[in-house]
A and B are shown apart, each in its own frame.
Chain A
Amino acid sequence: MDAVDVSKSRDLDKLLLRHGNLVDPGFSPGPDLRDDIREYVKILVVGAGGLGCELLKDLALSGFRNLDVIDMDRIEVTNLNRQFLFRLEDVGKPKAEVAAKRVMERVSGVEIVPHFSRIEDKEIEFYNDFNIIALGLDSIEARKYINGVACGFLEYNDDDTPKSQTIKPMVDGGTEGFKGHARVIMPGVTPCFECTIWLFPPQVKFPLCTLAETPRNAAHCIEYAHLIKWDEVHKGKSFDPDVPEHMQWVYDEAIRRAELFGIPGVTYSLTQGVVKNIIPAIASTNAIISSACALETLKIVSGCSKTLTNYLAYNGGEGLYTKVTDFPRVNDCLVCGPGILIELDTSVTLSKFIEMLEEHPKLLLSKASVIHGNGNLYMQAPPVLEEMLRGNLSKPLYDLMGRVQKDTIHVSGTSLLNEQKQSFSTKLRVLFKGADGVADMDTAIGA
Chain B
Amino acid sequence: MRSLSIHGKITEPAKSKNQRTGIKWKDNLTKQENSRTVRDSHYLIEQPSDSEWNICKHLAGIRKGFSLSLSFSRNTHLFSLCCDSLLSLADANHCKIPMERLEQEPTMAEPKKTKYDRQLRIWGELGQAALETASICLLNCGPTGSEALKNLVLGGIGSITIVDGSKVEIGDLGNNFMVDEKSVGQSKAKCVCGFLQELNDAVKANFIEENPDTFILNDPFFFSQFTLVVATQLVEDSMVKLDRICREANVMLVFARSYGLTGFVRISVKEHTAIESKPDHFLDDIRLNNPWPELKSFVETIDLNVAEPPAAHKHIPYIVILIKVAEEWAQTHNSNLPTTREEKNEFKALVKSKMVSMDEDNYREAIEASFKVFAPRGISQYTQDIINDSCADVGPNSSEFWIMVAALKEFISNEGGGEVPLEGAIPDMTSSTEHYINLQKIYHSKAEADFVAMEQRVKNILAKVGQDPSSISKSTIKSFCKNARKLKVCRYRMIEDEFRSPSVAALHKCLDDEEYRIAIGFYILLRAADRFSATYKKFPGQFDDGLMDHDVAQLKTTALNLLSEMGCDGYLLQEELYNEMCRFGAAEVHVVAAFIGGITSQEVIKLLTKQFVPMQGTYIFNGIDHKSQCLTL
Q: Which residues of A contact B (CB under 8 A)?
A: 4, 7-15, 18-22, 54, 57-58, 61-62, 77-78, 80-82, 84, 87, 105-108, 177-178, 210, 214-217, 252, 255-256, 259, 261-263, 267-269, 272-273, 278-288, 290-292, 294-295, 298, 305-306, 308-309, 312, 315-320, 322, 324
Which one, B16, B121, B169, contacts A255 given CB within 8 A?
A: B16
Question: B613 contacts A291, CB within 8 Å?
Answer: no
A-B CB contact pairs (8 Å), 12 listed: A8-B173, A21-B580, A22-B580, A58-B591, A81-B116, A107-B180, A216-B436, A255-B16, A317-B612, A318-B279, A319-B615, A324-B627
Q: Is B154 part of the contact surface with A, judged by Cβ < 8 Å?
A: yes
Assembled-state Cα–Cα distance A273/B155 (Å): 19
Assembled-state Cα–Cα distance A298/B416 (Å): 57
Assembled-state Cα–Cα distance A255/B76 (Å): 13
With A268-B74, A291-B592 already in contact, the answer to whether A81 and B628 are too (CB < 8 A) is no
Question: A261 contacts B437, CB within 8 Å?
Answer: yes
Which one, B74, B433, B630, contacts A320 given CB within 8 A?
A: B630
Given A106-B180, A284-B602; 11 other pairs, CB 8 A cutoff:
A11-B587, A12-B174, A15-B261, A77-B115, A81-B117, A81-B118, A81-B119, A87-B199, A217-B428, A282-B118, A320-B615
Assembled-state Cα–Cα distance A393/B460 (Å): 88
Q: Which residues from A are CB-within-8-Å of B605?
A: 282, 284
Q: Which residues from A are CB-within-8-Å of B116?
A: 81
Question: B177 contacts A107, CB within 8 Å?
Answer: yes
Shortest distance between the CB of B134 and any CB in chain A (Å): 15
Identity of the chain A residue whose Cβ is nearest the Cβ of B575 in the assembled complex: A21
Question: B155 contacts A4, CB within 8 Å?
Answer: no
With A12-B175, A61-B175, A261-B433 already in contact, the answer to whether A288 and B595 are too (CB < 8 A) is yes
Which one, B261, B584, B602, B625, contacts A178 given CB within 8 A?
A: B602
Shortest distance between the CB of B357 and any CB in chain A (Å): 15
Assembled-state Cα–Cα distance A105/B183 (Å): 13
Shortest distance between the CB of A337 and any CB in chain B (Å): 27
Question: B587 contacts A12, CB within 8 Å?
Answer: yes
Q: Which residues from A are CB-within-8-Å of B199?
A: 84, 87
Which one, B119, B174, B181, B588, contacts A9 given CB within 8 A?
A: B174
Which one, B280, B579, B627, contacts A317 given CB within 8 A?
A: B280
Q: Is B165 part of the contact surface with A, judged by Cβ < 8 Å?
A: no
The 5 closest A-B pairs by CB, nearest first: A10-B171, A287-B598, A320-B615, A21-B576, A288-B598
Which one, B13, B587, B606, B619, contacts A15 given CB within 8 A?
A: B587
Which residue, of A15, A81, A312, A320, has the highest number of chain B Cβ atoms within 10 A? A320
Q: Which residues from B are CB-within-8-Å of A62?
A: 589-591
Question: B74 contacts A267, CB within 8 Å?
Answer: yes
Which one, B175, B280, B548, B591, contacts A291 given CB within 8 A?
A: B591
Q: Which residues from B are CB-within-8-Å of A286?
A: 598
With A21-B576, A78-B114, A80-B154 already in contact, the answer to whether A319 and B613 are too (CB < 8 A) is yes
Assembled-state Cα–Cα distance A71/B345 (Å): 54
With A14-B584, A61-B591, A217-B428 already in contact, the answer to whether A252 and B598 are too (CB < 8 A) is no
Shortest distance between the CB of B614 and any CB in chain A (Å): 7
With A259-B16, A282-B155, A295-B592 already in contact, the answer to whether A322 and B114 are too (CB < 8 A) is no
Question: A11 contacts B590, CB within 8 Å?
Answer: yes
Q: Is B431 part of the contact surface with A, judged by Cβ < 8 Å?
A: yes
Question: A308 contacts B154, CB within 8 Å?
Answer: no
Question: B170 contacts A8, CB within 8 Å?
Answer: yes
Which one, B177, B541, B626, contacts A322 given CB within 8 A?
A: B626
Assembled-state Cα–Cα distance A284/B614 (Å): 14
Identity of the chain B residue whose Cβ is nearest the Cβ of A270 in the assembled complex: B121
Which residue, of B154, B548, B614, has the highest number of chain A Cβ atoms within 10 A? B154
Question: A312 contacts B626, CB within 8 Å?
Answer: yes
Identity of the chain A residue whose Cβ is nearest the Cβ of B142 in the assembled complex: A11
Q: Is B599 part of the contact surface with A, judged by Cβ < 8 Å?
A: yes
Assembled-state Cα–Cα distance A60/B628 (Å): 25
Q: Which residues of B contact A (CB under 8 A)?
A: 13, 15-16, 74-77, 111, 114-122, 147, 150-152, 154-156, 169-171, 173-177, 180-181, 198-199, 260-261, 265, 277-280, 315, 428-433, 436-437, 541, 548, 576-577, 579-580, 583-585, 587-592, 594-595, 597-599, 601-603, 605-606, 612-616, 619, 623-628, 630
Question: B595 contacts A292, CB within 8 Å?
Answer: yes
Question: B595 contacts A291, CB within 8 Å?
Answer: yes
Question: A295 contacts B591, CB within 8 Å?
Answer: yes
Q: Which residues from B are CB-within-8-Å of A285?
A: 598, 602
Q: Which residues from A are CB-within-8-Å of B174?
A: 7-12, 61
Identity of the chain B residue whose Cβ is nearest the Cβ of A11 in the assembled complex: B587
Which one, B152, B265, B625, contacts A309 given CB within 8 A?
A: B625
Shortest distance between the CB of A6 and any CB in chain B (Å): 9
Q: Which residues from B are CB-within-8-Å of A269?
A: 74-75, 117, 120-121
Assembled-state Cα–Cα distance A84/B155 (Å): 10
Question: B111 contacts A214, CB within 8 Å?
Answer: no
Assembled-state Cα–Cα distance A316/B278 (Å): 12
Q: Which residues from A are CB-within-8-Å of B154?
A: 80-82, 84, 283
Which one, A10, A87, A290, contacts B594 given CB within 8 A?
A: A290
Q: Which residues from A are CB-within-8-Å of B584?
A: 14-15
Shortest distance between the CB of A112 and any CB in chain B (Å): 14
Shortest distance between the CB of B14 and any CB in chain A (Å): 9
Assembled-state Cα–Cα distance A320/B632 (Å): 12
Which one, B432, B548, B580, contacts A214 given CB within 8 A?
A: B432
Shortest distance between the CB of A271 and any CB in chain B (Å): 10
Assembled-state Cα–Cα distance A222/B123 (Å): 22
Question: B177 contacts A57, CB within 8 Å?
Answer: yes
With A12-B174, A82-B154, A317-B278 already in contact, the answer to whether A273 and B121 are too (CB < 8 A) is yes
Q: Which residues from A are CB-within-8-Å of B623?
A: 295, 305
With A259-B16, A287-B594 already in contact, the answer to whether A305 and B122 are too (CB < 8 A) is no
Identity of the chain B residue whose Cβ is nearest the Cβ of A29 in the assembled complex: B583
Question: B118 contacts A324, CB within 8 Å?
Answer: no
Which one, B76, B180, B432, B587, contacts A267 given CB within 8 A?
A: B76
Which residue, of A10, A287, A324, has the highest number of chain B Cβ atoms within 10 A? A287
Assembled-state Cα–Cα distance A431/B74 (Å): 65
Assembled-state Cα–Cα distance A217/B615 (Å): 34
Shortest distance between the CB of A260 and any CB in chain B (Å): 10
Which residue, of A7, A14, A262, has the highest number of chain B Cβ atoms within 10 A? A14
Assembled-state Cα–Cα distance A177/B436 (Å): 30
Assembled-state Cα–Cα distance A262/B433 (Å): 9
Assembled-state Cα–Cα distance A58/B280 (Å): 30
With A20-B583, A81-B155 already in contact, the answer to whether A214 and B626 are too (CB < 8 A) is no
Which one, B150, B590, B625, contacts A283 given CB within 8 A?
A: B150
Shortest distance between the CB of A148 and any CB in chain B (Å): 27
Shortest distance between the CB of A290 and any CB in chain B (Å): 7
Which one, B118, B156, B198, B548, contacts A280 given CB within 8 A?
A: B118
Shortest distance between the CB of A243 and any CB in chain B (Å): 16
Question: B171 contacts A81, CB within 8 Å?
Answer: no
Assembled-state Cα–Cα distance A105/B182 (Å): 11
Q: Which residues from A are CB-within-8-Å of B261?
A: 15, 305
Assembled-state Cα–Cα distance A324/B616 (Å): 20
Question: A298 contacts B591, CB within 8 Å?
Answer: yes
With A284-B605, A322-B626 already in contact, the answer to whether A11 and B171 are too (CB < 8 A) is yes
Assembled-state Cα–Cα distance A308/B548 (Å): 28
Assembled-state Cα–Cα distance A54/B75 (Å): 32
Assembled-state Cα–Cα distance A226/B13 (Å): 17
Q: Which residues from A are CB-within-8-Å of B175?
A: 10-12, 61
Q: Which residues from B are CB-within-8-Å of A318?
A: 277, 279-280, 612-613
Q: Which residues from B are CB-within-8-Å of A57?
A: 177, 594
